[in-house]
Amino acid sequence: MSNYSFFEAQKWAFSYVKKYRLEKAAVDLLLCGEMGYSTTELLVHLRDEMPVEHWQNFRTNVELYCQGWPPQYLLGQASFYGMRLKVTPDVLIPRTETEELVDWILEDNGQRAQKVADIGTGSGAIGLALKSERPEWQVTLTDISDKALSVAQTNAELLHLPVEFCQGDMLAPLPDNNYDIIVCNPPYIARTEAPVMDQSVIEHEPHLALFAAEKGLAMYRKLSENILSYVHPGAKLYLEIGYHQGASVTGIFEHKFPSAEVTLKTDMYDNERMVRVIFE
């Protein structure tokens, strides 16, 4: 045994991360993740002695976190839409704001069966969340990265969610051309924004999934040029965007598809973060 209770381990970690002016919330994330506990279970066991092997792993992870490593990569997992997903440095860590994009799609489309494609799926977060909530939907996940697609495949297997996988660039690998819903959270950060980004993101998350040319708009333009070959009248495209890209992204699709209905949606913080295109 470690001779440390969970409370004492937590107290040590809070003090350690404070020196680096980092988030104390990461301590509980690492502690719960190390033990496989929920927050409630951690409270129940707080005065129990922590097994020495777990204490050593936890201490190492706290130190690595203070060196800039994201806690989710240290644990090899992240939570998204009630799911526990495997994550590695080959995929972006799914963000809570992306859950709002999933909410919008589900609220928008009811229970009727849909044919869905999640483009640039990464860990599979969006597509797997949709399949989990709507088992009757036919969902295909694509990614240009074979390593990312392997992570998504592992997550689908662990969650027992039957979806299809295709490797390739954007829409190109899709097996057919008649989708009801296409969703994409593409790379949308301009390289010029790197100096103001969190250093841990720059150092550890995959640049292929972060940065895009043309001031971050390249993938939206590419989608606009090719998407009509994959959708039918009434089909919907859902996009996550950078908080300052609302006018630019809606402008791309309004110009390309004058008769389409293009809607810009804000997130819980009132930032413009989502776009929907309904094709005529």
**Do 257 and 125 sit in the same domain of this protein?**
yes
CA atoms of 277 and 280, how far apart (whole Å): 10
Q: Is the pLDDT of residue 70 over 80?
A: yes
**Do 60 and 86 sit in the same domain of this protein?**
no
CA 51 centroid distance within chain: 32
Whether 122 has a binding-site annotation, put simply, is yes
Range of the domain at 40: 6-67
Cβ burial, residue 218 (10 Å; 0-12/13-18/19+): middle
**CATH number of the domain residue 110 falls in:** 3.40.50.150
**Do 22 and 149 sit in the same domain of this protein?**
no
Whether 216 has a binding-site annotation, put simply, is no
CA atoms of 62 and 58, how far apart (whole Å): 6
Of all residues in the chain, the percent with pLDDT exceeding 70 is 99
Reported as a single tens digit per residue, the pLDDT across 233-279 is 999 999 999 999 999 999 999 999 999 999 999 999 999 999 999 99
- Token look-up 């972060």 returns 210
**Do 52 and 95 sit in the same domain of this protein?**
no
Q: 195 CB contacts (<8 Å, ≥6 apart)?
A: none
Q: Which one of 67, 96, 119 terminates a domain?
A: 67
Whether 68 has a binding-site annotation, put simply, is no
Whether 82 has a binding-site annotation, put simply, is no
Whether 188 has a binding-site annotation, put simply, is yes
Least confident of 1-10, 12-21, 181-190: 1-10
Q: Which two tokens stand for residue 76?
A: 């090899």
**Do 152 and 22 sit in the same domain of this protein?**
no
Whether 120 has a binding-site annotation, put simply, is yes
User: Residue 277 — φ and ψ, nearest 5°?
Assistant: -120, 125
Of all residues in the chain, the percent with pLDDT exceeding 90 is 95
Whether 123 has a binding-site annotation, put simply, is yes
User: How many structural domains does the chain have?
Assistant: 2
pLDDT value for 104: 98
Whether 121 has a binding-site annotation, put simply, is yes
Reported as a single tens digit per residue, the pLDDT across 72-128 is 999 999 999 999 999 999 999 999 999 999 999 999 999 899 999 999 999 999 999
**Do 180 and 122 sit in the same domain of this protein?**
yes
Q: pTM of the full predicted structure?
A: 0.94
CB 249 within 8 A of CB 263: no
